[in-house]
Structure 1
Protein backbone atom coordinates (compact mmCIF):
# COMPACT_ATOMS: atom_id res chain seq x y z
CA UNK A 1 0.00 0.00 0.00
CA UNK A 2 2.87 2.38 0.84
CA UNK A 3 4.33 1.70 -2.60
CA UNK A 4 0.99 2.52 -4.27
CA UNK A 5 0.91 5.88 -2.44
CA UNK A 6 4.46 6.61 -3.56
CA UNK A 7 3.47 5.92 -7.18
CA UNK A 8 0.24 7.97 -6.99
CA UNK A 9 1.78 11.09 -5.43
CA UNK A 10 3.70 12.29 -8.52
CA UNK A 11 0.65 11.61 -10.69
CA UNK A 12 -1.57 13.64 -8.36
CA UNK A 13 0.91 16.52 -8.25
CA UNK A 14 1.19 16.48 -12.03
CA UNK A 15 -2.59 16.67 -12.45
CA UNK A 16 -2.83 19.46 -9.87
CA UNK A 17 -0.16 21.53 -11.58
CA UNK A 18 -1.74 20.99 -14.98
CA UNK A 19 -5.13 22.16 -13.67
CA UNK A 20 -3.51 25.21 -12.07
CA UNK A 21 -1.78 26.14 -15.31
CA UNK A 22 -5.07 25.87 -17.19
CA UNK A 23 -6.90 28.15 -14.76
CA UNK A 24 -4.27 30.83 -14.21
CA UNK A 25 -3.80 33.58 -16.77
CA UNK A 26 -2.95 37.24 -16.59
CA UNK A 27 -6.17 38.53 -18.15
CA UNK A 28 -9.00 37.69 -20.51
CA UNK A 29 -9.99 40.78 -22.49
CA UNK A 30 -13.49 39.99 -23.69
CA UNK A 31 -14.09 39.27 -27.35
CA UNK A 32 -17.39 41.15 -27.75
CA UNK A 33 -17.89 39.77 -31.24
CA UNK A 34 -18.69 36.42 -29.61
CA UNK A 35 -21.69 35.56 -27.45
CA UNK A 36 -21.72 36.33 -23.75
CA UNK A 37 -22.02 33.32 -21.43
CA UNK A 38 -22.56 32.84 -17.67
CA UNK A 39 -18.77 32.55 -17.43
CA UNK A 40 -18.22 35.75 -19.42
CA UNK A 41 -16.99 36.40 -22.94
CA UNK A 42 -14.34 34.30 -24.68
CA UNK A 43 -10.88 35.82 -24.52
CA UNK A 44 -9.58 38.08 -27.24
CA UNK A 45 -6.37 36.73 -28.74
CA UNK A 46 -3.44 37.98 -26.68
CA UNK A 47 -1.59 38.94 -29.88
CA UNK A 48 -4.43 41.40 -30.61
CA UNK A 49 -4.48 42.98 -27.13
CA UNK A 50 -2.98 46.46 -26.71
CA UNK A 51 -2.60 48.90 -23.81
CA UNK A 52 -5.73 50.70 -25.00
CA UNK A 53 -7.77 47.63 -24.03
CA UNK A 54 -6.96 48.31 -20.38
CA UNK A 55 -7.96 51.99 -20.41
CA UNK A 56 -11.52 53.41 -20.24
CA UNK A 57 -11.97 57.17 -20.55
CA UNK A 58 -15.77 57.43 -20.41
CA UNK A 59 -16.11 58.28 -16.72
CA UNK A 60 -14.59 61.75 -17.13
CA UNK A 61 -17.64 63.15 -18.92
CA UNK A 62 -20.97 64.01 -17.29
CA UNK A 63 -23.95 61.95 -18.37
CA UNK A 64 -27.15 63.42 -19.81
CA UNK A 65 -29.61 64.00 -16.95
CA UNK A 66 -32.36 65.45 -19.17
CA UNK A 67 -34.79 62.62 -18.47
CA UNK A 68 -37.67 61.72 -16.20
CA UNK A 69 -35.45 60.76 -13.26
CA UNK A 70 -32.90 63.57 -13.82
CA UNK A 71 -30.11 61.03 -13.52
CA UNK A 72 -27.54 59.36 -15.74
CA UNK A 73 -25.37 56.29 -15.28
CA UNK A 74 -22.27 55.92 -17.46
CA UNK A 75 -21.21 52.27 -17.20
CA UNK A 76 -17.78 50.75 -17.54
CA UNK A 77 -19.10 47.20 -17.54
CA UNK A 78 -17.72 44.42 -19.71
CA UNK A 79 -19.86 45.58 -22.64
CA UNK A 80 -18.11 48.96 -22.63
CA UNK A 81 -14.79 47.95 -21.07
CA UNK A 82 -13.91 44.40 -22.21
CA UNK A 83 -10.74 44.29 -20.08
CA UNK A 84 -12.82 43.69 -16.92
CA UNK A 85 -14.03 40.39 -18.39
CA UNK A 86 -13.40 37.63 -15.85
CA UNK A 87 -11.89 39.97 -13.25
CA UNK A 88 -14.94 40.30 -10.99
CA UNK A 89 -14.92 44.11 -11.12
CA UNK A 90 -16.46 47.01 -13.04
CA UNK A 91 -17.31 50.66 -12.51
CA UNK A 92 -19.73 53.41 -13.43
CA UNK A 93 -20.30 57.13 -13.07
CA UNK A 94 -23.51 58.44 -11.53
CA UNK A 95 -24.73 61.96 -12.32
CA UNK A 96 -27.71 63.41 -10.47
CA UNK A 97 -29.14 66.80 -11.38
CA UNK A 98 -30.95 68.74 -8.61
CA UNK A 99 -34.02 66.66 -7.80
CA UNK A 100 -32.50 63.65 -9.51
CA UNK A 101 -33.14 60.13 -8.30
CA UNK A 102 -32.16 56.58 -9.12
CA UNK A 103 -35.35 54.78 -8.00
CA UNK A 104 -35.36 51.54 -6.04
CA UNK A 105 -33.39 49.02 -8.04
CA UNK A 106 -31.24 45.94 -7.66
CA UNK A 107 -28.07 44.51 -9.17
CA UNK A 108 -28.60 40.74 -9.13
CA UNK A 109 -25.03 40.04 -10.25
CA UNK A 110 -22.88 42.02 -7.84
CA UNK A 111 -22.40 44.24 -4.80
CA UNK A 112 -21.95 47.99 -5.28
CA UNK A 113 -19.62 50.49 -3.63
CA UNK A 114 -20.41 54.18 -4.15
CA UNK A 115 -18.02 57.10 -3.55
CA UNK A 116 -19.42 60.65 -3.64
CA UNK A 117 -17.08 63.02 -5.49
CA UNK A 118 -19.40 66.02 -5.73
CA UNK A 119 -22.58 67.21 -4.04
CA UNK A 120 -24.84 65.51 -1.53
CA UNK A 121 -26.61 62.18 -2.01
CA UNK A 122 -29.23 60.49 0.14
CA UNK A 123 -28.70 56.76 -0.34
CA UNK A 124 -29.86 53.55 1.22
CA UNK A 125 -30.96 49.96 0.84
CA UNK A 126 -33.62 47.59 2.16
CA UNK A 127 -32.50 44.17 3.34
CA UNK A 128 -34.34 40.93 2.61
CA UNK A 129 -35.67 41.20 6.19
CA UNK A 130 -37.12 44.64 5.26
CA UNK A 131 -34.66 46.46 7.51
CA UNK A 132 -33.91 49.94 6.16
CA UNK A 133 -30.41 51.44 6.05
CA UNK A 134 -30.15 54.96 4.65
CA UNK A 135 -28.18 58.13 5.25
CA UNK A 136 -26.96 61.35 3.66
CA UNK A 137 -23.57 61.13 1.97
CA UNK A 138 -21.22 64.03 1.34
CA UNK A 139 -18.12 64.47 -0.80
CA UNK A 140 -15.65 61.72 0.04
CA UNK A 141 -18.20 59.48 1.75
CA UNK A 142 -18.56 55.87 0.69
CA UNK A 143 -21.46 53.43 1.03
CA UNK A 144 -21.80 49.78 0.07
CA UNK A 145 -24.96 48.11 -1.24
CA UNK A 146 -24.91 44.31 -0.86
CA UNK A 147 -25.63 42.16 -3.89
CA UNK A 148 -29.30 41.79 -4.77
CA UNK A 149 -30.60 44.30 -2.20
CA UNK A 150 -33.07 47.00 -3.28
CA UNK A 151 -31.36 50.39 -3.04
CA UNK A 152 -31.65 53.99 -4.21
CA UNK A 153 -29.79 57.29 -4.58
CA UNK A 154 -31.33 60.79 -4.42
CA UNK A 155 -29.69 64.17 -4.97
CA UNK A 156 -30.47 65.81 -1.64
CA UNK A 157 -28.70 69.09 -2.41
CA UNK A 158 -29.26 72.08 -4.66
CA UNK A 159 -26.37 71.41 -7.05
CA UNK A 160 -25.35 68.57 -9.33
CA UNK A 161 -24.13 65.46 -7.55
CA UNK A 162 -21.59 62.99 -8.90
CA UNK A 163 -20.47 59.60 -7.64
CA UNK A 164 -18.11 56.93 -8.89
CA UNK A 165 -19.42 53.42 -8.37
CA UNK A 166 -17.62 50.08 -8.42
CA UNK A 167 -19.12 46.60 -8.63
CA UNK A 168 -17.97 43.11 -7.68
CA UNK A 169 -18.89 41.83 -11.15
CA UNK A 170 -17.99 42.77 -14.73
CA UNK A 171 -21.71 42.66 -15.52
CA UNK A 172 -23.76 43.35 -12.34
CA UNK A 173 -27.11 43.64 -14.09
CA UNK A 174 -29.86 46.13 -13.30
CA UNK A 175 -33.58 46.03 -12.60
CA UNK A 176 -35.42 49.22 -11.60
CA UNK A 177 -38.55 48.32 -9.65
CA UNK A 178 -40.72 51.16 -11.01
CA UNK A 179 -39.86 50.33 -14.62
CA UNK A 180 -40.31 46.62 -14.02
CA UNK A 181 -43.86 47.27 -12.83
CA UNK A 182 -45.03 50.14 -15.00
CA UNK A 183 -42.88 50.28 -18.15
CA UNK A 184 -43.93 46.97 -19.69
CA UNK A 185 -47.01 45.20 -21.01
CA UNK A 186 -48.05 43.48 -17.78
CA UNK A 187 -51.85 43.96 -17.60
CA UNK A 188 -52.95 46.77 -15.28
CA UNK A 189 -55.27 44.41 -13.42
CA UNK A 190 -52.30 42.21 -12.50
CA UNK A 191 -50.19 45.18 -11.43
CA UNK A 192 -53.06 46.40 -9.24
CA UNK A 193 -53.26 43.01 -7.54
CA UNK A 194 -49.55 42.75 -6.78
CA UNK A 195 -49.04 46.39 -5.72
CA UNK A 196 -52.37 47.18 -3.96
CA UNK A 197 -52.64 50.32 -6.11
CA UNK A 198 -55.91 51.33 -7.70
CA UNK A 199 -56.60 51.37 -11.44
CA UNK A 200 -56.18 55.13 -11.78
CA UNK A 201 -52.77 55.14 -10.13
CA UNK A 202 -51.49 52.20 -12.15
CA UNK A 203 -52.59 53.64 -15.49
CA UNK A 204 -51.12 57.02 -14.59
CA UNK A 205 -47.74 55.44 -13.85
CA UNK A 206 -47.89 53.30 -16.99
CA UNK A 207 -48.54 56.44 -19.04
CA UNK A 208 -45.62 58.27 -17.41
CA UNK A 209 -43.16 55.39 -17.79
CA UNK A 210 -44.31 54.13 -21.20
CA UNK A 211 -46.06 50.93 -20.21
CA UNK A 212 -49.09 49.40 -21.89
CA UNK A 213 -51.96 47.15 -20.85
Structure 2
Protein backbone atom coordinates (compact mmCIF):
# COMPACT_ATOMS: atom_id res chain seq x y z
CA UNK A 1 0.00 0.00 0.00
CA UNK A 2 1.47 3.34 -1.00
CA UNK A 3 2.08 5.79 1.83
CA UNK A 4 0.60 9.30 1.55
CA UNK A 5 2.67 12.43 2.01
CA UNK A 6 2.92 13.75 5.55
CA UNK A 7 -0.26 15.81 6.02
CA UNK A 8 0.03 19.53 6.66
CA UNK A 9 -3.64 20.23 7.43
CA UNK A 10 -5.86 19.12 10.27
CA UNK A 11 -8.53 16.42 10.25
CA UNK A 12 -11.71 16.89 12.32
CA UNK A 13 -14.50 14.33 12.50
CA UNK A 14 -18.00 14.40 13.93
CA UNK A 15 -19.54 11.30 15.51
CA UNK A 16 -22.80 10.47 17.25
CA UNK A 17 -25.94 8.42 16.98
CA UNK A 18 -28.42 8.94 14.14
CA UNK A 19 -30.37 12.15 14.65
CA UNK A 20 -27.82 13.68 17.03
CA UNK A 21 -27.36 16.76 14.84
CA UNK A 22 -23.73 16.04 13.94
CA UNK A 23 -24.26 16.71 10.22
CA UNK A 24 -25.73 20.12 10.99
CA UNK A 25 -22.89 20.92 13.38
CA UNK A 26 -20.26 19.81 10.86
CA UNK A 27 -21.78 22.15 8.28
CA UNK A 28 -22.00 25.06 10.74
CA UNK A 29 -18.40 24.56 11.79
CA UNK A 30 -17.28 24.58 8.16
CA UNK A 31 -19.13 27.84 7.59
CA UNK A 32 -17.64 29.35 10.75
CA UNK A 33 -14.06 28.39 9.86
CA UNK A 34 -14.40 29.59 6.27
CA UNK A 35 -15.60 32.94 7.54
CA UNK A 36 -12.51 33.03 9.77
CA UNK A 37 -10.26 32.52 6.74
CA UNK A 38 -9.56 28.79 6.85
CA UNK A 39 -9.52 26.67 3.69
CA UNK A 40 -12.06 23.98 4.56
CA UNK A 41 -13.19 20.74 2.92
CA UNK A 42 -16.51 19.44 4.27
CA UNK A 43 -17.11 15.79 3.51
CA UNK A 44 -18.96 12.73 4.82
CA UNK A 45 -18.90 8.98 5.27
CA UNK A 46 -19.82 6.73 3.78
CA UNK A 47 -19.15 8.82 0.70
CA UNK A 48 -17.00 11.84 0.03
CA UNK A 49 -15.63 10.62 -3.31
CA UNK A 50 -17.41 9.30 -6.43
CA UNK A 51 -16.61 5.65 -5.73
CA UNK A 52 -17.43 5.92 -2.05
CA UNK A 53 -20.77 7.57 -2.83
CA UNK A 54 -21.68 4.55 -4.95
CA UNK A 55 -20.92 2.27 -2.01
CA UNK A 56 -22.99 4.59 0.25
CA UNK A 57 -26.12 3.70 -1.71
CA UNK A 58 -25.39 0.01 -1.20
CA UNK A 59 -24.98 0.16 2.57
CA UNK A 60 -27.57 2.78 3.60
CA UNK A 61 -30.54 1.66 1.54
CA UNK A 62 -32.61 -1.51 1.54
CA UNK A 63 -33.69 -3.98 4.22
CA UNK A 64 -31.87 -3.99 7.57
CA UNK A 65 -30.69 -7.56 6.94
CA UNK A 66 -29.41 -6.83 3.45
CA UNK A 67 -25.74 -7.33 4.46
CA UNK A 68 -23.98 -9.22 7.20
CA UNK A 69 -21.81 -7.21 9.58
CA UNK A 70 -18.71 -8.74 8.03
CA UNK A 71 -19.74 -7.64 4.54
CA UNK A 72 -20.57 -4.16 5.81
CA UNK A 73 -17.09 -3.83 7.33
CA UNK A 74 -15.52 -4.62 3.97
CA UNK A 75 -17.81 -2.20 2.12
CA UNK A 76 -17.24 0.64 4.56
CA UNK A 77 -13.48 0.09 4.53
CA UNK A 78 -13.42 0.09 0.73
CA UNK A 79 -15.40 3.34 0.67
CA UNK A 80 -13.12 4.87 3.30
CA UNK A 81 -9.97 3.94 1.40
CA UNK A 82 -11.25 5.62 -1.77
CA UNK A 83 -12.36 8.65 0.25
CA UNK A 84 -8.92 8.87 1.88
CA UNK A 85 -7.06 8.61 -1.42
CA UNK A 86 -9.18 11.00 -3.44
CA UNK A 87 -10.44 13.58 -0.95
CA UNK A 88 -8.99 13.53 2.56
CA UNK A 89 -5.24 13.04 2.02
CA UNK A 90 -4.97 15.49 -0.91
CA UNK A 91 -6.74 18.18 1.11
CA UNK A 92 -4.58 17.58 4.20
CA UNK A 93 -1.41 17.60 2.11
CA UNK A 94 -2.51 20.99 0.75
CA UNK A 95 -2.80 22.31 4.31
CA UNK A 96 -6.60 22.43 4.46
CA UNK A 97 -8.95 21.75 7.35
CA UNK A 98 -10.94 18.59 6.59
CA UNK A 99 -14.26 18.22 8.43
CA UNK A 100 -15.83 14.79 8.03
CA UNK A 101 -19.31 13.68 9.10
CA UNK A 102 -18.43 10.19 10.47
CA UNK A 103 -15.23 8.21 10.03
CA UNK A 104 -13.80 4.93 11.36
CA UNK A 105 -15.33 5.33 14.84
CA UNK A 106 -18.77 4.80 13.31
CA UNK A 107 -17.63 1.50 11.81
CA UNK A 108 -16.14 0.50 15.16
CA UNK A 109 -19.57 1.05 16.66
CA UNK A 110 -22.18 0.08 14.07
CA UNK A 111 -20.42 -2.98 12.68
CA UNK A 112 -17.74 -3.75 15.26
CA UNK A 113 -19.95 -3.54 18.33
CA UNK A 114 -23.65 -3.65 17.54
CA UNK A 115 -23.73 -6.45 14.98
CA UNK A 116 -21.34 -8.87 16.65
CA UNK A 117 -18.03 -8.94 18.49
CA UNK A 118 -16.10 -7.64 15.47
CA UNK A 119 -14.24 -4.63 16.88
CA UNK A 120 -10.86 -6.37 16.46
CA UNK A 121 -11.68 -7.07 12.81
CA UNK A 122 -12.58 -3.43 12.21
CA UNK A 123 -9.35 -2.26 13.85
CA UNK A 124 -7.21 -4.75 11.91
CA UNK A 125 -8.66 -3.63 8.57
CA UNK A 126 -8.37 0.00 9.59
CA UNK A 127 -4.69 -0.43 10.47
CA UNK A 128 -3.98 -2.25 7.22
CA UNK A 129 -5.96 -0.15 4.74
CA UNK A 130 -6.54 3.29 6.34
CA UNK A 131 -3.73 3.86 8.80
CA UNK A 132 -4.77 7.18 10.31
CA UNK A 133 -7.05 8.63 12.96
CA UNK A 134 -8.58 12.11 13.08
CA UNK A 135 -6.70 14.87 14.86
CA UNK A 136 -9.90 15.80 16.69
CA UNK A 137 -13.23 13.99 17.05
CA UNK A 138 -16.31 15.91 18.23
CA UNK A 139 -18.90 13.56 19.71
CA UNK A 140 -22.39 15.09 19.67
CA UNK A 141 -24.09 13.28 22.55
CA UNK A 142 -27.85 12.78 22.30
CA UNK A 143 -30.64 10.92 24.11
CA UNK A 144 -31.31 7.78 21.99
CA UNK A 145 -35.09 8.17 21.87
CA UNK A 146 -34.84 11.80 20.80
CA UNK A 147 -32.19 11.03 18.22
CA UNK A 148 -34.12 8.13 16.74
CA UNK A 149 -37.30 10.22 16.46
CA UNK A 150 -35.37 12.98 14.71
CA UNK A 151 -33.72 10.52 12.32
CA UNK A 152 -36.98 8.83 11.36
CA UNK A 153 -38.69 12.20 10.81
CA UNK A 154 -36.31 12.93 7.94
CA UNK A 155 -38.06 10.26 5.81
CA UNK A 156 -35.19 9.67 3.39
CA UNK A 157 -34.27 6.57 1.44
CA UNK A 158 -31.19 6.13 3.66
CA UNK A 159 -32.89 4.71 6.75
CA UNK A 160 -31.50 1.19 6.84
CA UNK A 161 -29.74 1.65 10.20
CA UNK A 162 -32.57 3.71 11.70
CA UNK A 163 -34.82 0.72 10.99
CA UNK A 164 -32.89 -1.33 13.55
CA UNK A 165 -34.75 0.73 16.19
CA UNK A 166 -34.03 2.60 19.42
CA UNK A 167 -32.25 -0.31 21.09
CA UNK A 168 -29.44 0.03 18.56
CA UNK A 169 -29.25 3.78 19.18
CA UNK A 170 -28.97 3.25 22.95
CA UNK A 171 -26.20 0.72 22.41
CA UNK A 172 -24.42 3.09 20.05
CA UNK A 173 -24.59 6.00 22.47
CA UNK A 174 -23.00 3.91 25.20
CA UNK A 175 -20.39 2.69 22.74
CA UNK A 176 -19.46 6.18 21.55
CA UNK A 177 -19.08 7.39 25.13
CA UNK A 178 -16.83 4.40 25.81
CA UNK A 179 -14.75 5.28 22.74
CA UNK A 180 -14.38 8.83 24.06
CA UNK A 181 -12.93 7.35 27.26
CA UNK A 182 -10.67 5.06 25.24
CA UNK A 183 -9.27 7.93 23.13
CA UNK A 184 -9.46 10.97 25.44
CA UNK A 185 -6.71 12.88 23.62
CA UNK A 186 -8.75 13.27 20.43
CA UNK A 187 -12.39 13.05 21.60
CA UNK A 188 -14.40 16.00 22.87
CA UNK A 189 -18.01 15.47 23.98
CA UNK A 190 -20.64 18.15 23.29
CA UNK A 191 -24.21 17.94 24.60
CA UNK A 192 -26.44 17.85 21.51
CA UNK A 193 -29.73 18.12 23.40
CA UNK A 194 -29.81 21.91 23.28
CA UNK A 195 -30.55 24.63 20.77
CA UNK A 196 -28.55 24.30 17.56
CA UNK A 197 -26.89 27.70 18.07
CA UNK A 198 -25.82 26.80 21.62
CA UNK A 199 -24.30 23.52 20.48
CA UNK A 200 -22.52 25.31 17.63
CA UNK A 201 -20.99 27.81 20.05
CA UNK A 202 -19.56 24.98 22.14
CA UNK A 203 -18.26 23.22 19.01
CA UNK A 204 -16.59 26.41 17.77
CA UNK A 205 -14.92 26.93 21.15
CA UNK A 206 -13.70 23.33 21.25
CA UNK A 207 -12.27 23.47 17.73
CA UNK A 208 -10.67 26.88 18.28
CA UNK A 209 -8.65 25.44 21.15
CA UNK A 210 -7.46 22.61 18.92
CA UNK A 211 -6.58 24.84 15.97
CA UNK A 212 -4.60 27.22 18.16
CA UNK A 213 -2.38 24.33 19.23
CA UNK A 214 -2.32 23.04 15.63
CA UNK A 215 -0.80 26.30 14.68
**What TM-score results when the alignment is normalised by the length of structure 1?**
0.26
Report which of the two structures shows the higher radius of gyration computed on alpha carbons: 1
Q: Provide TM-score, normalisation by structure 2.
A: 0.26
Q: Relative to total residues, which structure has the larger helix share, 1 or 2?
A: 2
Task: Give the number of the structure with larger relative contact order, counting CA–CA contacts within 8 Å between residues 6 or more apart.
Answer: 2
